[in-house]
């Protein structure tokens, strides 16, 4: 070195130049090697990133396939295995999704029973790989390359089993994805020149080869080492190898596993579905072009010394800075910012290609993200169209998600306010343990249903019926709980009201039938007891006993009338009635009856509509309500009677099936008494039900009011709370315009009851007939008798027929003719004949819907002698 510095300038220059040449040669060789390594590394990284990107796309394809099947499995129309319903749902999903060749379901035997496409002939899939694996594992599976038997397209199929409660497979639903769609999704338009995309199935069969080579779709590719390793590999890999065209490339292989679909039901062990192989040229040509420089190291060294600085600056600007930008953009992309883009460039080198590829990859990911968001929004809209509540809960019993109907059911302002909330906050306290046990049982894998009480944000309770199953929200996540719930509150109320109406109708029919036969017995008992009282005037002891019989028979008669009133079988004589006038006239009587401790307040509405009702029965009903109110106010209080014009609309009728929509006159009777519990309110109208001590009430007061209102085509409703008093509202239909007031015949005086006319008595009950004939003869009448209509007609056709002034006949008679028919036949023979009917039952030829036909004279059983005498005279004078 010292000799160097002692040498001349020329030597030093030459030495320096030689040293520079030597250093330049070494640096040149080193630079070439480094450049070659950087180029290969960039190609390696490019192939790896492209492999990762296409792998994420493939994962999304598999996830979409199983998500489609998962969504389809939740439809009742699919679970019911009805071919038409299932095919309609399959067709909906086929039309709503991209790339699918067919969607449908097969039986455990492999027979295609449900398909979005119509098969020209029966199809069986038992030989398909996806079907065999699903049957063997009982879990979702992915098939291999196939040709669709329905439309001949090349496909790969996803499948999922739907199981019975015992765990056996009920059916297998499938979705066949076209390989052409996979190619269109995976193929990137800006791959580096000379790049390839190859997709094989789990058996190594070719699905996609881009650009198209000599291999045909479906051909087994395991003879190619890259494909053989990809089919067997359990993880991703990048390797350098020779392609089918003989070119050297970096090949990045990504296996797509069914486990990555992130849906419930995937087998614990991963199942490979497809493998994607991306090949990027190794860029070794650049190094080959620069190889001759190695032979001229001195010249390269000299040139290198001159351009060293410029080369560094050039490399910094053209490679290092863009790489840093690509790295920073990649980190943003990984954080989910799909809007990131590299600056636009016109460069055509590797950096330019990589930048453009990155931008296109980011655009594709943004498009995929948009599609995912749209798919999510579609699923959200599907959930929101479900009228029932759909909710997902985790193991901590907290809401993961809920649809709009569920949020509205709980009166929540929005869905977000429900997410994360404890479900037990919305469950009645008495149902907490049962509901918690139900959820844990479902999460453990059992499908169950439960009915419980939900408490909404306003504190109102709803009866909820839920059908639940387990769901896995992530591949490695524990099972969660999903349920579809329906509000059954109104349904249960309506059912209870219907059962109550049916019960009341059944009791009414039984009561009416008993009362009919009892009336005939009471007619004989009451009449003969009355005769005995009159004839035993000189025997006080026996006369007293006869009077007790008469009183008992009279009480039996009153009881029968009340039973008939409840049974809606009493005879009503309706007329157009002004309720305001009736209640005003009745107020004084009610006030005297209730006593001074109870104040009576009348609140009437001017212009009140008229109703068609029996005035006597209306007064009796109001008096019964007033007496019940008095008993509920032992220490006194306020009784209020109100009248209003009201309209009951269809909504009210839907909540109260016993009411019909229309215009009504409301009569409300309210007290300030003790009120009723819900249990008492349910039985308040039942006959013989009473809360009073034994001997203090018959239990027929409210029953009689109920029967009268119902027989008048009205509606009755109780409103009561313990300690808050009771209001009973009677709704009577508004009468038709122009309804005429029924004219009541003038009453015949007691002194006019005797007569000498001829009367034909027709009665099938022998005891009743004997009693009536005896009484009429005592009154001075000439009496003929007949047990049935045929015998009566024979008398009318005889010589005695012309002398008959009055036909007194029971309406219900044995044989083919009833009393009404007999009267019509007799009137045709003797037009001036008078007719008086008698009956102990209402649904017959002269009484319809409890209302007496116009122009008909009727004496109802049982009756006293005075009633018989007076009604006979009225009929003769009519």
pLDDT recorded at residue 530: 76
C-alpha 714/C-alpha 665 separation (Å) is: 9
Residue 126's alpha-carbon distances to 107, 132, 782, in angstroms, are 10, 7, 98
- Residue 750 pLDDT level (bands cut at 50, 70, 90): very low
Helices 350-385, 9-73: axis angle to 10 degrees equals 20
C-alpha 172/C-alpha 107 separation (Å) is: 6
Using one digit for the tens of pLDDT, what is the confidence trace for 27-85?
556 665 665 665 566 666 766 776 677 777 777 788 888 888 888 888 888 888 999 99
pLDDT recorded at residue 851: 54
- Residue 111 pLDDT level (bands cut at 50, 70, 90): very high
Using one digit for the tens of pLDDT, what is the confidence trace for 452-508?
888 888 888 888 888 888 887 777 777 788 888 888 877 777 776 676 666 666 666
pLDDT recorded at residue 131: 92
pLDDT recorded at residue 502: 67
pLDDT recorded at residue 811: 84
Spell 799-816 as b/e; 16+ CB within 10 A means b.
eebeebbbbbbbbbbeee
Q: Which of 317-326, 364-373, 641-650, 813-822 is most confident?
A: 641-650
- Residue 286 pLDDT level (bands cut at 50, 70, 90): very low
Checking if the pLDDT of 874 tops 80, the result is yes
pLDDT recorded at residue 666: 92
Helices 489-535, 540-566: axis angle to 10 degrees equals 160
Which residues neighbour 788 within 8 Å (Cβ) at sequence distance 6 or greater? 762, 764, 813, 814, 815, 817
- Degrees (nearest 5) of the Cα angle 174, 175, 177? 145
Q: Which two tokens stand for residue 846?
A: 């002269």
pLDDT over 70, % of the chain: 76
Using one digit for the tens of pLDDT, what is the confidence trace for 610-668?
998 888 788 888 888 888 888 888 888 889 999 999 998 887 887 787 788 999 999 99
Mean pLDDT, residues 399-420 taken together: 80
Q: What is the 3-state secondary structure (H, E, C) of 498-531?
A: HHHHHHHHHHHHHHHHHHHHHHHHHHHHHHHHHH
Phi and psi dihedrals of 690, rounded to 5? -150, 150
Give the residues across from 274 on adjacent strands: 201, 256
Using one digit for the tens of pLDDT, what is the confidence trace for 835-856?
998 887 654 545 555 555 666 7
Q: Which DSSP helix (H) or strand (E) runs through 26? A: helix 9-73
**E-strand stretches of 626-675:** 637-648, 662-671
- Residue 594 pLDDT level (bands cut at 50, 70, 90): confident
Average pLDDT, the chain: 78
pLDDT recorded at residue 564: 59
Checking if the pLDDT of 104 tops 90, the result is yes
Using one digit for the tens of pLDDT, what is the confidence trace for 760-812?
999 988 888 888 898 899 889 999 999 999 999 999 989 888 899 999 998 88
Contact 470, 442 (CB under 8 A): yes
Using one digit for the tens of pLDDT, what is the confidence trace for 231-283?
787 778 888 888 878 788 878 888 777 654 445 555 445 666 788 888 878 66
Checking if the pLDDT of 5 tops 50, the result is no
pLDDT recorded at residue 285: 45
Give the residues across from 662 on adjacent strands: 648
Mean pLDDT, residues 187-214 taken together: 75
C-alpha 500/C-alpha 507 separation (Å) is: 11
Residue 368's alpha-carbon distances to 48, 363, 583, in angstroms, are 20, 9, 78
Spell 44-74 as b/e; 16+ CB within 10 A means b.
bbbbbbbbbbbbbbbbbbbbbbbbbbbbbbb
Contact 396, 443 (CB under 8 A): no
**3-state SS assignment for residue 190:** coil
Checking if the pLDDT of 692 tops 60, the result is yes
pLDDT recorded at residue 169: 93
Cis before 211 (ω within 30): yes
Checking if the pLDDT of 18 tops 80, the result is no
């Amino acid at each position: 070195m010292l000799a160097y510095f002692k040498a001349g300038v020329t030597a030093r220059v030459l030495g320096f130049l030689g040293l520079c040449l030597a250093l330049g040669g070494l640096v040149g060789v080193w630079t070439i090697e480094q450049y070659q390594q950087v180029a290969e590394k960039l190609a390696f990284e490019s192939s790896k990133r492209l492999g990762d990107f296409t792998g994420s796309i493939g994962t999304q394809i598999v996830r979409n396939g199983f998500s489609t099947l998962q969504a389809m499995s939740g439809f009742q129309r699919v679970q019911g295995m009805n071919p038409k319903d299932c095919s309609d749902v399959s067709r909906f999903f086929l039309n709503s999704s991209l790339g699918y060749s067919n969607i449908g379901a097969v039986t455990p035997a492999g027979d295609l029973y449900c398909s979005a496409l119509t098969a020209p002939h029966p199809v069986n899939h038992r030989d398909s790989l996806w079907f065999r694996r699903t049957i063997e594992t009982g879990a979702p599976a992915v098939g291999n390359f196939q040709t669709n038997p329905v439309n001949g397209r090349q496909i790969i199929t996803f499948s999922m089993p739907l199981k019975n409660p015992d765990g056996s497979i009920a059916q297998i639903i499938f979705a066949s994805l076209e390989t052409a769609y996979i190619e269109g999704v995976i193929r990137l338009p800006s791959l580096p020149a000379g790049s390839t995309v190859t997709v094989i199935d789990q058996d190594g069969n070719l699905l996609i080869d881009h650009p198209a080579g000599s291999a045909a779709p479906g051909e087994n590719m395991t003879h190619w080492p890259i494909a053989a390793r990809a089919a067997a590999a359990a993880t991703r890999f990048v390797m350098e190898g020779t392609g089918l065209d003989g070119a050297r490339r970096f090949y990045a292989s990504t296996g797509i596993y069914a486990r990555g679909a992130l849906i419930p039901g995937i087998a614990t062990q991963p199942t490979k579905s497809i493998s994607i192989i991306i090949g990027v040229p190794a860029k070794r040509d650049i190094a080959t072009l620069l190889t001759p420089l190695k032979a001229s190291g001195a010249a390269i060294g000299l040139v290198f010394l001159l351009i060293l600085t410029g080369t560094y600056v050039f490399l910094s600007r053209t490679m290092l800075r863009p790489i840093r930008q690509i790295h920073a953009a990649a980190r943003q992309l990984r954080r989910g910012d799909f809007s990131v883009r590299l600056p636009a460039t016109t460069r055509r080198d590797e950096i330019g290609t990589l930048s453009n590829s990155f931008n296109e990859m980011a655009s594709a990911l943004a498009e995929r993200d948009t599609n995912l968001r749209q798919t999510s929004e579609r699923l959200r809209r599907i959930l929101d169209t479900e009228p029932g509540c759909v909710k997902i809960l985790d193991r901590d019993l907290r809401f993961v998600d809920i649809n709009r109907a569920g949020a509205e059911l709980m009166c929540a302002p929005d869905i977000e306010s429900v997410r994360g909330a404890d479900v037990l906050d919305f469950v009645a306290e008495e149902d907490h343990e049962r509901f918690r046990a139900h959820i844990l049982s479902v999460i453990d894998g059992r499908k169950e249903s439960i009915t419980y009480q939900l408490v909404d944000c306003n504190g109102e309770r709803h009866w909820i019926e839920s059908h639940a199953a387990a769901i896995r929200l992530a591949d490695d996540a524990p099972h969660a709980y999903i349920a579809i719930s329906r509000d059954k509150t109104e349904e249960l109320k309506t059912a209870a009201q219907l059962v109550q109406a049916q019960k009341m109708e059944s009791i009414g029919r039984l009561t009416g039938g008993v009362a009919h036969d009892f009336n005939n017995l009471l007619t004989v008992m009451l009449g003969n007891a009355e005769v005995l009282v009159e004839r035993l005037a000189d025997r006080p002891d026996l006369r007293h006993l006869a009077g007790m019989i008469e009183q008992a028979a009279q009480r039996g008669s009153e009881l029968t009338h009340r039973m008939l009133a409840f049974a809606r079988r009493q005879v009503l004589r309706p007329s157009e009635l002004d309720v305001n006038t009736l209640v005003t006239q009745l107020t004084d009587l009610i006030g005297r009856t209730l006593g001074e401790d109870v104040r009576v307040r009348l609140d009437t509405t001017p212009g009140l509509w008229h109703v068609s009702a029996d005035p006597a029965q209306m007064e009796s009903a109001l008096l019964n309500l007033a007496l019940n109110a008095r008993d509920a106010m032992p220490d006194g209080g306020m009784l209020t009677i109100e009248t209003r014009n009201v309209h009951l609309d269809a909504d009210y009728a839907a909540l109260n099936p016993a009411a019909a929509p229309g215009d009504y006159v409301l009569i409300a009777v309210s007290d300030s008494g003790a009120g009723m519990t819900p249990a008492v309110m349910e039985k308040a109208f039942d006959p013989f039900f009473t809360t009073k001590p034994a001997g203090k009430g018959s239990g027929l007061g409210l029953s009689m009011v109920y029967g009268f209102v119902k027989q008048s085509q009205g509606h009755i409703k109780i409103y009561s709370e313990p300690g808050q008093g009771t209001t009973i509202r009677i709704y009577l239909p508004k009468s038709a315009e122009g309804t005429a007031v029924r004219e009541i015949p003038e009453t015949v005086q007691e002194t006019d009851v005797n007569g000498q006319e001829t009367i034909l008595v027709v009665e099938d009950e022998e005891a009743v007939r004997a009693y009536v004939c005896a009484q009429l003869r005592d009154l001075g009448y000439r009496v003929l008798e007949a047990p049935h209509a045929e015998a009566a007609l024979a008398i009318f056709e005889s010589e005695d027929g012309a002398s008959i002034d009055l036909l007194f006949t029971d309406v219900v008679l044995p044989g083919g003719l009833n009393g009404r028919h007999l009267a019509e036949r007799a009137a045709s023979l003797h037009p001036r004949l008078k007719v008086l009917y008698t009956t102990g039952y209402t649904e017959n030829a002269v009484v319809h819907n409890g209302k007496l036909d116009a122009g008909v004279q009727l004496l109802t059983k049982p009756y006293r002698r005075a009633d018989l005498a007076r009604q006979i005279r009225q009929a003769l004078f009519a």
